[in-house]
Structure 1
Amino acid sequence: MIHVAIISHGHEELLINSQLGGLLKERAHLKIWIKDNRPAATLKAYCEQHQVFYTDADAGLGFGENNNYLFDLIQKQSGFQAQDFFLVMNPDITVTPETVFALTEKMQQSAHAIATLNLYRDQAMSIPDKNIRHFPGMLSIIKMPLVNTFSETYDKESIAAAVDDIPVEWASGAFLAFKPALYQALGGFDPSYFMYFEDVDICYRARRYHNQAVHYYPHLKAIHTAAHKNRNIFSQHARWFFHSFSKFLLRRYLRLSSVYSGKRSQDSTS
C-alpha cells in the first residue's frame, strides 16, 4: 500500500476539483490521508463521501509535525507492511497514479528508501521546478544576494539526458517518498522547523546518519503549482524561512542534526 499524506491549508477547492480525483481511482493500492490545518466543511464532506481519511484535529501544527501526526496515525490504525510506502505530497501537486506506482516500483527494485521525481511549474511541463538542490552552507549566505537562491540547484537537463535515476543531496518536501522504516528511524521531520527547511534537514539526516541519499527519477514527472510566499521579505513566511535557514546551518556545522531523531525514536519505544 502507498500511503499518501496531504496537509491542506485552505486548499479544499484545489483538492476537490482537480487533485484527488485521479488518485482515488486507484484506492486498492493508494490510500490518501488528509490533515486539514484550516478546517473546511466542504473538504470534510467530500472526504466522507469518497471514503478518504480526513482529520482536522490539532489544526495549526507546522508542516513537519503535521506529516508526523499522519505517519503515527497510520502506524496506530493499520500499521505499515514491508512493501508499503509513505508519500508526503503537497495539495498543489498533480500526479497520475501510474507515475506514483512507477516511482515506488523503482524504489523497491533498487532498495532506495527515499526518493522524488521531476517536478514542473506548468501544465505543459516546460518550466522545471527547482525541487532538487545541494545542501546550503555558510557560503550560501554570501551568494544569496548575487544568485537569488539559498542553495545551488542541479542541472535537470543534463541529468535527464544521462540517467534513469541519480542520488541528490536534498529534494523538496512537496513530493518525497519514504520507506516507512527509514522515516521511523529518522524520527520523521523535526517539528522545531515550523515551516521551511524541514525537508532539507530530513534529507541531510538520512544521508549523514543512515547512508540513504535521496534518489531522483528525471523521467517520472508531475506538476507543482507552488506559491513561494517566502519571497516577500516582509512576510511571516520570510521570517519563518530565514529562521529555519539559520537553524539548519547552525545544526549542520555543530553536528546537532541527529538530536531530534534520537529523542523521538527513544520516545516511541518508551
Structure 2
Amino acid sequence: MIYIAIISHGHEEMLIESQLCGLAGNASVHIWVKDNLPSVKLEKFCQQHQVRYTKEKPGMGFGENNNFLFKKISSEYALSVKDLFVVMNPDIRATAEMLQSLDLQMQMDKVSLATVNLYKDQSYQQPDANIRYFPSLLTPFRVLKIRGLTEAIQKPLLTRDSDVDWASGAFLAFRPAHFQELKGFDTDFFMYFEDVDICYRSSCITGRKVRYYPGLKAVHQAAHRNRSLLSPHARWFLTSFLRFLWRRSVIYPFTRGKIRQSL
C-alpha cells in the first residue's frame, strides 16, 4: 500500500481544488492530511473522500509534522517492506498510476529512498529544480555562481535513472523500514534543510542515496516564500543552512552507522 503524508498550513482551497493533489477517491493510495491551521471545510472534504484528517498538535515544523503522521500510520497499520511512505507537498499534482510505477520501480531496483521528475507546469516544459548537490563549507564562497546556498543538478544531463545527493521534501518516497532506520526527519530543523539532512544521513550513514527517476513526472506548483533578510523564513533558512554545515563537517563524520534519535 502507498501512504501519502500531506501537511496543510492554510492550504485547504488548494487541496480541495486539486482533489487532494489529484489523488482523492483512489483506492490504491491512503492519504493522510495534518492540518496545522484547522479548517472545517477541509476536514469535511477529507471525510467525504475517505481521507484521514488530523488537526492534532499544530505549530510543528515540516519534519516533525511528517514524523507525526508516520507514527500515526504505523500505529494503525502493520507496515510491510512492500509499503511506501510518501512525503508530498500540498502543491504537488500527481497520479496514482505514477505512484504505482514508482513503487514497482523501487521494488525492482531495491531502492529505499527516491524522488521523481517535478515540473512547474502541466505540460511538463518547465523543470523544477528538485534534485541538488549537497552544500559544503565552500558553498558560501560560491553563492553568486550557483545563485543560492544549494546548487541544482542539471536534469537534462540525467536521462537515465540515477542516484543523486538530495531531493526536495516536496516529494520524497521512503520504504517504511528505511524511514524508521533514519529515525525520520531531524526535528532540530524547524523548516528548511530537513530534506537535505535526511538525504545526507541516508547516503553517508546508511549508504543509500536518493534514486531519481526522470521518466516519472509530477507537477510542483510552488509558491516561493518571502526570504527578505528580515522575514522569519530568511532566518529559518540561514539557521538551518548553518546547522547542516556544522553537522556535516563536525558531527556526522563521527556518526557513521549511528542515527540521531528523532522519531
Shorter-chain TM-score bucket reads: over 0.9
Give the structure 1 partner of residue 135 of structure 2.
136
* Residues 1:105 and 1:230: Cα distance change in structure 2 (over 3 Å): farther
Q: Distance in 2 between matches of 1:169 and 1:253?
A: 16
The structure 1 residue matched to 2:203, chosen from 196, 207, 210, is: 207
Judged with a 3 Å threshold, the aligned counterparts in structure 2 of structure 1 residues 210 and 95 are, in CA distance, closer, same or farther, namely: same
Partner of 1:172: 168
Choose between structure 1 and 2: higher helix proportion.
1
Which residue pairs with 1:263 in the alignment? Answer: 261
Structure 1 segments unaligned to the other structure (5+ residues): 266-270
Cross-structure match for 2:7: 7
Of 179, 184, 187, 1:183 maps to 179
**Paired letter, 1:45:** K
Superposition TM-score, scaled by structure 2 size: 0.95
- Name the structure 1 match of 2:245: 249
Root-mean-square deviation (CA, aligned residues, Å) is 1.7
Residue by residue, what CA displacement relative to the aligned partner does 1:200-221 show, whole Å, maximum 9, x if unpaired?
A: 0000000111111000000111
State the shift of 1:21 in Å.
6.8
Answering whether residue 196 of structure 2 is matched by residue 197 of structure 1, we say no
Could you report, residue by residue, the CA deviation over 1:45-87 in whole angstroms, capped at 9, with x for unpaired residues? 1111222100000001000000000001111111312210100
Could you say which residue in structure 2 is the equivalent of 1:104?
103
Structure 1 residue 261 displacement after superposition:
3.1
- When normalised by structure 1's length, the TM-score is 0.92
> What is the identity percentage for the equivalent residue pairs of Structure 1 and Structure 2?
49
CA distance in 2, matches of 1:230, 1:244: 16
1:19 offset after TM fit, Å? 4.0
Q: AA paired with 2:5?
A: A
Question: 5 Å matches for 1:32-43?
Answer: 32-43=31-42
**Partner secondary structure for residue 82 of structure 1:** coil
TM-superposed deviation, 1:230? 4.8
**Alpha-carbon displacement from aligned partner over 1:7-66 (angstroms, at most 9, x marks no partner):** 001110111111427312422x20000000111110011111222100000001000000
Residues 1:127 and 2:126 aligned together: yes
CA contact 1:34–1:54 (8 Å) conserved in 2: yes
Q: Say which of 217, 234, 240 aligns to 2:236.
A: 240
Query: Does structure 1 retain, via aligned residues, the 8 Å contact 2:25–2:49?
Result: no
| Pairing of 1:16-55 with structure 2 (within 5 A) | 16-20=16-20, 22-27=22-27, 29-55=28-54
Gaps of 5+ in 2: none
Distance in 2 of aligned mates of 1:159 and 1:19: 31
Cα distance in structure 2, aligned partners of 1:21 and 1:254: 39
